[in-house]
Chain A
Amino acid sequence: MKHNRDGTSTTDGQSAEWVLRLYIAGQTPKSLAAVSNLHQICEQHLAGQYDIEVIDLLEKPQLAEGDKIVAIPTLVRMLPLPIRKIIGDLSDTEKTLVGLQLKPKAS
């Protein structure tokens, strides 16, 4: 999949252990919240080993098909495999961490 990265990479080298892709649609409150929540979580738990790519589907609607995006915002964990999807503005940190498998599922 070819698309430009929007420069939020925080790894120095080419091979980030964590590759995360966040799909948003315009600068909506939900989208903005998702971007900021994601950065916060990554800084806290994955400092130095992640690469975030934010895709605005209003600009590139054709990219929605690729990752089969239904809900907005959608966070896709591209790496490490397997691919995982988390939807929502990521305001529930607990669920986001479980979704990213940074924390075992409670209960």
Chain B
Amino acid sequence: MGETVPNGLPKCPTGISGFDEMTGGGLPRGRPTLLAGSAGSGKTLFALEFVLHGIERFDEPGVFVSFEETPEELTANMASLGHDLEGLQREKHLSVLYIALEAHELIESGDYDLDGIFLRLGAAIDATGARRIGLDAVENLFSAFSDLRILRAEFHRLMAWLKARGITAVVTTERGTDSLTRHGLEEYIADCVIALDNRIENQLATRRLRIVKYRGSAHDSDECPFVLNRHGFSVIPISSSGLDYQASTERVSFGIETLDDMLGGGIYRGSSALVSGTAGTGKSSLAVQMVDAACRRGERCLYVALEESPVQIERNMASVGFDLAQWRRAGLLHFHATRPTSCGLEAHLATLVALVREVRPQFVVIDPITAYSTRGYEERVKLMLIRAVDLFKSMGITSVFTALTYGGNAEESTSVSISSVVDVWLLVRNLESAGERTRGLYVCKARGAAHSNQVREFQLSSEGLRLVDVMLDDAGQILTGSARRLHQTLKEDESTARDLADQRRRAAIENRRLVLEARIAAMRAEFEDELRALEAEIEGEDSRLRAANRKFLNLANLRNQVGRGDS
């Protein structure tokens, strides 16, 4: 089981979620590790899980030595996490040693050593063939005895003894007030030192783990949050996924063509989208639209609801045309409803990690991500978002986060701090005009996609979501809702009037044409009359001329006859 890292230092996996990733394989094999932490910081659980995982997952028997909690308490505590301490002890994989130290009852007289512990530990190691040991709350050992010189020497001898046996040990101790440990135990355990911390911030307990020292091994030196929940101890390494995830070129549709078009064809699979907006702008509806589209494609979805119960979401979404219950029944949609105030941010994140590992969704919605923080603590939301985005991206999960912003000019700026984390940022904004509120949808950002710069009117109705191109009035103002309808009506009226005027003008011209034509006909008639009169006149003159000619000829004839005979 010795995972060897390139530099040759063998490691011993703890099986503690997140921790082995953080340390590149676990604790230094065959050496003791010191775990220092304040009261209630989870030291015992870490040590116990280290031993139990060894038995359950790595086939390495173990011994757990408790200087504080009784075996009964330990058994009960671990049963709730699904570990059967008694069963493991019966099968001789585990040995639990309870070393009770009644400080007030001990009287010291002369020289002594801690061979009692060595003997008992040795017997337990031999009985189980232990490869791992947890020594819990060793500070009790120091407070039980007054001769610290002996104690230090004996502790040193114990560590050397375990090392000589090649046993990997986790030694837990209380943190000191101004040093890491109360008795300076870090002097004796030089290979690996881990500090646990339990702080109260914003009235929520936040647990953090830090690797103070890890000789010969690269490790994450940041403080990493961790949680203790029904899945046990899990560390959330801040940079476990880094920025080396795959980038898909596949587009995921919103199920609304107009919206897909705004983003150049939907969002990339495995990318993250933020839908921000003030209260009641339809952020959830937009997220549900995507869930619905994903379920239609047969994808598994996880819906993390932080403000509404699943039943309420289903009912409300039915009013805008979404039948989410069918997807839930089909096993495609999984709801996880929780109050953000129920536990710390890290606990939420760990639950999320556990859920994602369990449900294996292709699509996740967190509605709203801002519920994780109260106003003014955007940094916390950002931190939560970064981790969630990293988590989802590393697993190729497409994610949508809704973010509630507050009204006024700060509306967009509050989201700015978190928007850098996501790939796509949609802003739903209330557009108020003429005493009415409507919704406008903007694409503020879409990495790696040609996207529309235009605002669209976002309409919610019982038939679902609809995006409509916005209408601009003559002054370039956006018109939505009834202002838009009014504008449309006015425009229609205007054109009707214009049509009527046109008709009237056309009729008038027609009239003029008719009048003109009548006048032309009259003039022509008049002209023809004149023409006829003229022709008649010419005709009359012709016939007179002919008659005159005839008369002249007749006279001539008569003259000719007289001259020849009887004149």
Which residues does A use to contact B, with CB under 8 Å? 23, 25, 30, 33-34, 37, 57-58, 61-62, 64-65, 68-74, 84-93, 95-96, 98-99
In whole angstroms, what is the CA distance A72 to B109 when docked? 11
Q: Is the CB of B107 within 8 A of A71?
A: no
Q: Is the CB of B119 within 8 A of A61?
A: yes
Count of chain B residues with Cβ under 8 Å from any Cβ of A?
Answer: 24
Partner of B107 from the list A62, A68, A99 (CB cut-off 8 Å) is A99
Q: Is the CB of A57 within 8 A of B119?
A: yes
Interfacial residues of chain B within 375-419, with CB under 8 A of chain A in the complex? none
A–B pairs, 17, beta carbons within 8 Å: A25-B115, A30-B110, A30-B112, A33-B110, A58-B119, A61-B120, A68-B100, A70-B99, A70-B114, A70-B116, A85-B107, A87-B107, A87-B112, A87-B145, A88-B110, A91-B111, A95-B110
Q: Which residues of chain B come closer than 8 Å to A88, judged between CB atoms?
A: 108-112
Interfacial residues of chain B within 95-140, with CB under 8 A of chain A in the complex? 99-102, 105-117, 119-120, 122-123
Q: Is the CB of A87 within 8 A of B99?
A: no
In whole angstroms, what is the CA distance A72 to B150 when docked? 12
Q: Which residues of chain A come closer than 8 Å to B107, judged between CB atoms?
A: 84-87, 95-96, 98-99
Which residues does B use to contact A, with CB under 8 Å? 99-102, 105-117, 119-120, 122-123, 141, 144-145
A-B interface, 8 closest residue pairs, ranked by CB to CB distance from nearest? A99-B107, A91-B110, A88-B110, A69-B116, A72-B115, A89-B110, A95-B109, A88-B109
In whole angstroms, what is the CA distance A85 to B122 when docked? 23
In whole angstroms, what is the CA distance A84 to B144 when docked? 15
Q: Is the CB of B110 within 8 A of A72?
A: no
In whole angstroms, what is the CA distance A73 to B116 when docked? 8
In whole angstroms, what is the CA distance A25 to B393 when docked? 60
Q: Is the CB of A84 within 8 A of B109?
A: no
For A37, give the chain B residue with the smallest CB separation. B110
- Closest CB of chain A to B142's CB: distance in Å? 12
The SS class assigned to the A binding surface is: mixed
Question: Which of A30, A69, A87, A88 has the most chain B CB within a 10 Å cutoff?
Answer: A87
A30 and B117 contact, Cβ closer than 8 Å, known pairs A71-B145, A87-B108: no
In whole angstroms, what is the CA distance A86 to B108 when docked? 6
- Closest CB of chain A to B516's CB: distance in Å? 131
Q: Is the CB of A92 within 8 A of B109?
A: yes
In whole angstroms, what is the CA distance A99 to B116 when docked? 20
For B144, give the chain A residue with the smallest CB separation. A70
- Closest CB of chain A to B132's CB: distance in Å? 21
In whole angstroms, what is the CA distance A61 to B116 when docked? 9
Q: Which residues of chain B come closer than 8 Å to A33, judged between CB atoms?
A: 110-111
Q: Which residues of chain B come closer than 8 Å to A84, judged between CB atoms?
A: 105, 107
A99 and B119 contact, Cβ closer than 8 Å, known pairs A70-B99, A71-B114: no
Q: Which residues of chain A come closer than 8 Å to B99, judged between CB atoms?
A: 68, 70
Partner of A23 from the list B100, B116, B144 (CB cut-off 8 Å) is B116
In whole angstroms, what is the CA distance A86 to B112 when docked? 10
In whole angstroms, what is the CA distance A69 to B101 when docked? 9
Partner of B106 from the list A37, A72, A85, A96 (CB cut-off 8 Å) is A85
Q: Is the CB of B112 within 8 A of A73?
A: yes
- Closest CB of chain B to A85's CB: distance in Å? 6
Q: Which residues of chain B come closer than 8 Å to A62, judged between CB atoms?
A: 123
Q: Which residues of chain B come closer than 8 Å to A98, judged between CB atoms?
A: 107
For A26, give the chain B residue with the smallest CB separation. B115
For A23, give the chain B residue with the smallest CB separation. B116
Q: Which residues of chain B come closer than 8 Å to A23, judged between CB atoms?
A: 116
Q: Which residues of chain B come closer than 8 Å to A89, judged between CB atoms?
A: 109-112
In whole angstroms, what is the CA distance A64 to B98 when docked? 12
Q: Which residues of chain B come closer than 8 Å to A71, judged between CB atoms?
A: 106, 112-116, 145
